[in-house]
Structure 1
Amino acid sequence: MDRFPYSEAEVATELAAVRPGLLPRYAAELPGARAAVLTRLWRALAHEPLPWVTRRVRGAHSLALYLADGRVLHGPHADPYATGDRVTAVRLDRTAYDDPARLTAALGVPHGGAFAAELEHSVASLALSRSDQPERADGWPSRDWEWEQRIVDGHPFHPNCRSRPGFSVAEQLAYGPEHRPVVALGSVPVEADESLVTGVWPDELRDGARLLIPVHPWQAAHVLKRAGERPLDAHPLMSLRTLALVDGPHVKTALSARLTSSVRDISVYSIGLSATLSSFGEELAARSEGLLHITRTLGAATAGSPHLAAVVRESPQTYADSAAGERVLPVAALATTGLPEKPGWLAGFTRLALSVCLRLLESGVALEAHGQNLLVVLDRDGRPLRLVYRDLADIRVSPARLARHGIPVPELTGRIVTDDETTLRRKLFGSLVGGALAGTAGSGTALGAALAAVVGDLPPTADLPALLQGPLPVKALTLMRLSPERPGDQWAALPNPLVLEPGPSGQ
């Protein structure tokens, strides 16, 4: 794969060639972007079980991290649930660092060099994203993809929040949702009898005996090495590889690039399960007393490769009554609305989200309910009414729990199936409380207050005490990037937001 710009200077050089008018704003946004990524990195250093951090000591006004090589990191207290650009510098022994990439390189830890390069690109890409924002017009968006474009900073807690290795500056401007492009989504014809298809593949994506598999233009250029045919105009959503067709469904495409942490292919395994999961999702929604909708997968297809596959599914907009003034938006966009600051609003949303998801977990399904997959339906006054969930590919399903509740067990296999209590709780608690709710609240104080306000209203399931009394499990995102030899999820235990007491000083 071609090498594309990563550093601040390299991005500036290419920007001068493709969008010179953005250069002054890009330069102005760099300090804030460094602080935003450094804030996320410092949170990870303060709370993740990194093997080379031997002891953590909280002082009256700062936090000290003792490293295995004898050096000491000093920085501010790290609220594990805070968002924003809060940390402007940390000190390694006597040297202060305001640049997360330089700090990571100076730490000299295993795999730190590659991670530092990712952080450098994350800073530059975040500054680029922030530099291309228009003045916000009055009123709220009316179309679902417009909400997705409002999420400029990416993941609220991952230092790689805007890292897009392999994307040139021109490609970020052309495909990133925060840049508001219209993308010409091409298609690749494949023989139907040589493909795996589940669900009902749309007629408009067929050509006689051939399927037309939608392909992201980046994938066509860099992986498939061929141009897509019959382009369809589409708007990229916050995941970048999923796009909303104009006045149509959403299309999830394969994108063999590492965005944040993961390469965004679509496995043959997930295509094979998609129809079963979609039918299962309809059954779950029917049991939710009208409080949860799950978007249906209309069709999924692959030509036997994770590099050439696509999923077509309903728009979440299907589940909002526009005539009644309802709107549906991803939870990650709530922080842009001002609603979480309204008295009682955050508690009301927390009550809805936890009540629905805890009942579902008790029944046997753990959603990965982070701010991208979880959406909320609001009434015309902004009050939360119902939830919408999209993309069932990474949920966890417990056959034992389903059977206890008399729910037919679907024909599922592989990683999605587990009866392990810890795995199920981690999946939900880490994504919903440590992700969606924390990102909406913006601080541990606000999150803890919302939880305290609704504790008495939550369903008394067997999982509730683990949420209220123990540490909160969240993915150790930085540890995972620094441990490429250990595939799969790794976890950190954050102080419970209801109490936010300091954790132990050591590991």
Structure 2
Amino acid sequence: MPRPATAEAEIAEELAVVRPALLPAYTEALPGARAAVLTRLWRGLTHDPLPWVTGREDTRSGVVLRLADGRRLEGPAPDPYATGDRVTAVRLDGTEYDDPARLTADLAVPHSGSFAAELAHSAASLALSRAGQRGFDGLLPGSGDGVPVRDWEWEQRVVDGHPFHPNCRSRPGFSVAEQLAYGPEHRPVVKLGPLPVPAGECLVSGAWPEWLRDGERVLVPVHPWQAAHVLKGAEARPGTGAGALAAHPLMTLRTLALPDGPHVKTALSARLTSSVRDISLGSVAASAVLSDFGQAVAERTDGLLRITRTLGAVAAGSPDLTAQLRESPEEYTGLGERVVPVAALAATDLPRSPAWLARLARLALTACLRLLELGVALEAHGQNLLVVLSPDGEPVRLVYRDLADLRVSPERLARHGIPVPDVPDRMVTDDPVALRRKLFGSLVAGALAGTAGSGAALRAALEDAVRGLPRTPDLAALLDGPLPAKALTLMRLSPGTAGDQWTDLPNPLRFGSG
């Protein structure tokens, strides 16, 4: 089997053809990209419940993991809330590894070969993303003074992808030319081809607009990658001429912002970080109901949080040919305000003092715990959760987008006189553990931790933020127990296991306290 690091050479070869001027910056970025992926991998190896790790020993110099076959894996003391390129090497039975793909391949545990290939691609693609920023003077189109103006411009600042997932930039199935053409960090304009489908063959939810109709046909916006790789037959290929929609890709890659209109969520049947994500037919059918429900429950946060409306959704017989139109978060800003995805905060030069981070954490916990008490657990990770900043940079309210992965509790909703919406069964649970995992794993272990950048900074922000909050059972679980987080490394090494798998991280409120 080829060594997984060949992904670096393959991208270099393609880059030499399609964008040779980037090749020196790409080569220079490779060591840092490997360290960034290794940092994320080491977090998973030391904190996920991996069945072949049989023991752990904390030493003065770091951590030793004992493997089932008797080998020892040694590395620095892990901070599960740290971001960046902090882990530059670990040792497996005395041999030093600075390449996460080679380390994973040589671990030789079940499914490590395929995971190693993903890690190699993640590191190489991350180097490509970082190379694309070299020589970039900080100015974005339309910004003038270097401060982004539009919501999509903030999203272009996120270069490294998921702050804790080892597959933070893995884009298998994308050539170098396609990464440059479609990746938001490369700042492209993507043309979505409208594919005409007879209205009688479509499932439509909400109000599909007239400007995306052609008589008795519905025009479905199609991502060009989807058109090239998934849709088959000339009759299934949308046009890219005068009728194409010029749009700016957001962090999710498959959702794009029209310059003066809504966001378009397209079908993009490619594996990015963990799984192939589509827009299921059930999601399309439930989108209008979910949108109305989200708007209604958000009203109970006293203006602390708003939820973007889904304007319309369409499915043309298959998850491979679907689309949703969603309000831009800019609809919820006032004069001089800016709306920024939480995941983009760490990638900007906005002032983020410890006190500022505590105010953000308090705003987020107040709003999201209130919704959780009502019976709605948001998946409030850094892509879905946005913060509205006042003209002087203070967090004033939150905006949440994309309701596809929330959870609702009939028991809690009934307690507050709220009817249970007609949503897919997978969204419905009264299990408090499942509800808290959904919220705390995304908000605290994800969005807030990624913004804080370390366990110590997260601890300080939370200590300040939780003062005075109502001591509900949900808050008590956050204060007193471990913090749930998705076991991202375990999930990639368990391809036959459906659904999310979880781990417990050290409580950030006690992090570093011994």
* Per-residue CA distance 1:232-290 (angstroms, 9 max, x = gap): 10000000000001211000001110010121211001101100000001101211111
- Does residue 227 (structure 1) correspond to residue 241 (structure 2)? The answer is no
Gapped regions of structure 2 (runs ≥ 5): 140-144
Q: Which residue of 2 aligns with 1:448?
A: 459
Q: Which residue of 2 aligns with 1:135?
A: 137
Q: Which residue of 1 aligns with 2:434?
A: 423
**CA displacement at 1:409 relative to structure 2:** 2.0
Contact 1:495 1:501 in 2 (8 A): no
Letter in 2 for 1:334: L
* Per-residue CA distance 1:148-174 (angstroms, 9 max, x = gap): 100000000000000000000000000
Letter in 2 for 1:364: G
* RMSD of Structure 2 on Structure 1 (CA): 1.3
**CA displacement at 1:343 relative to structure 2:** 4.2
Partner Cα distance (2:299, 2:455) in 1: 34
**CA displacement at 1:227 relative to structure 2:** 2.8
Partner Cα distance (2:57, 2:248) in 1: 47
Partner Cα distance (2:399, 2:6) in 1: 36
TM-score normalized by the length of structure 1: 0.96
Q: Which residue of 1 aligns with 2:89?
A: 89
**CA displacement at 1:336 relative to structure 2:** 2.2
| Equivalent of 2:178 in 171, 175, 182 | 171
**CA displacement at 1:502 relative to structure 2:** 9.2
Letter in 2 for 1:204: W
Contact 1:164 1:259 in 2 (8 A): yes
- Does residue 181 (structure 1) correspond to residue 188 (structure 2)? The answer is yes
Contact 1:177 1:235 in 2 (8 A): yes
Partner Cα distance (2:148, 2:126) in 1: 23
Partner Cα distance (1:69, 1:340) in 2: 49
Contact 2:382 2:447 in 1 (8 A): yes
* Per-residue CA distance 1:21-70 (angstroms, 9 max, x = gap): 00000000000000000000000001000000011110012100000000
- Does residue 495 (structure 1) correspond to residue 502 (structure 2)? The answer is no
**CA displacement at 1:406 relative to structure 2:** 1.3
Partner Cα distance (2:73, 2:199) in 1: 58
Contact 2:456 2:512 in 1 (8 A): no
1:157 and 1:376, CA in 2 relative to 1: closer, same or farther beyond 3 A? same
* Per-residue CA distance 1:470-498 (angstroms, 9 max, x = gap): 00000001100100111110001000000
TM-score normalized by the length of structure 2: 0.95
Partner Cα distance (2:338, 2:128) in 1: 29
Q: Aligned ranges for residues 229-308 of structure 1 at < 5 Å?
A: 229=239, 230-308=243-321
1:500 and 1:340, CA in 2 relative to 1: closer, same or farther beyond 3 A? farther
Contact 2:283 2:424 in 1 (8 A): no
1:6 and 1:461, CA in 2 relative to 1: closer, same or farther beyond 3 A? farther
Q: Aligned ranges for residues 92-107 of structure 1 at < 5 Å?
A: 92-107=92-107
Per the alignment, in what secondary structure is the counterpart of residue 438 of structure 1?
Answer: helix
Gapped regions of structure 1 (runs ≥ 5): none
| Equivalent of 2:365 in 324, 334, 354 | 354
1:340 and 1:446, CA in 2 relative to 1: closer, same or farther beyond 3 A? farther
Q: Which residue of 2 aligns with 1:69?
A: 69
Partner Cα distance (1:418, 1:189) in 2: 38
Per the alignment, in what secondary structure is the counterpart of residue 198 of structure 1?
Answer: strand
- Does residue 78 (structure 1) correspond to residue 65 (structure 2)? The answer is no
Contact 2:354 2:457 in 1 (8 A): no
Contact 2:282 2:424 in 1 (8 A): no
Q: Which residue of 1 aligns with 2:49?
A: 49
Contact 1:250 1:312 in 2 (8 A): yes
1:283 and 1:265, CA in 2 relative to 1: closer, same or farther beyond 3 A? same
Partner Cα distance (1:68, 1:340) in 2: 47
**CA displacement at 1:305 relative to structure 2:** 0.6
Letter in 1 for 2:302: E
**CA displacement at 1:461 relative to structure 2:** 1.8
Contact 1:359 1:461 in 2 (8 A): no
Per the alignment, in what secondary structure is the counterpart of residue 7 of structure 1?
Answer: helix
**CA displacement at 1:139 relative to structure 2:** 3.6
Q: Which residue of 1 aligns with 2:154?
A: 147
Partner Cα distance (1:413, 1:181) in 2: 35
Partner Cα distance (2:337, 2:352) in 1: 20
- Does residue 9 (structure 1) correspond to residue 9 (structure 2)? The answer is yes
Per the alignment, in what secondary structure is the counterpart of residue 169 of structure 2?
Answer: coil
Per the alignment, in what secondary structure is the counterpart of residue 486 of structure 1?
Answer: coil
Letter in 2 for 1:135: D
Per the alignment, in what secondary structure is the counterpart of residue 276 of structure 2?
Answer: strand
Q: Which residue of 2 aligns with 1:326?
A: 337
**CA displacement at 1:340 relative to structure 2:** 6.1
Per the alignment, in what secondary structure is the counterpart of residue 301 of structure 2?
Answer: coil
**CA displacement at 1:501 relative to structure 2:** 5.9
Contact 1:358 1:459 in 2 (8 A): no
Partner Cα distance (2:246, 2:387) in 1: 26
Partner Cα distance (2:36, 2:300) in 1: 41
Between the aligned residues of both structures, percent identity stands at 72
Contact 1:34 1:98 in 2 (8 A): yes
* Per-residue CA distance 1:86-127 (angstroms, 9 max, x = gap): 000000011000000000000001000000000000000000
Contact 2:157 2:348 in 1 (8 A): no
Q: Which residue of 2 aligns with 1:344?
A: 355
Per the alignment, in what secondary structure is the counterpart of residue 151 of structure 1?
Answer: coil
Partner Cα distance (1:459, 1:376) in 2: 22
- Does residue 372 (structure 1) correspond to residue 383 (structure 2)? The answer is yes
Contact 1:43 1:80 in 2 (8 A): yes
Contact 1:147 1:333 in 2 (8 A): yes
Partner Cα distance (1:121, 1:502) in 2: 37
Partner Cα distance (1:154, 1:45) in 2: 20
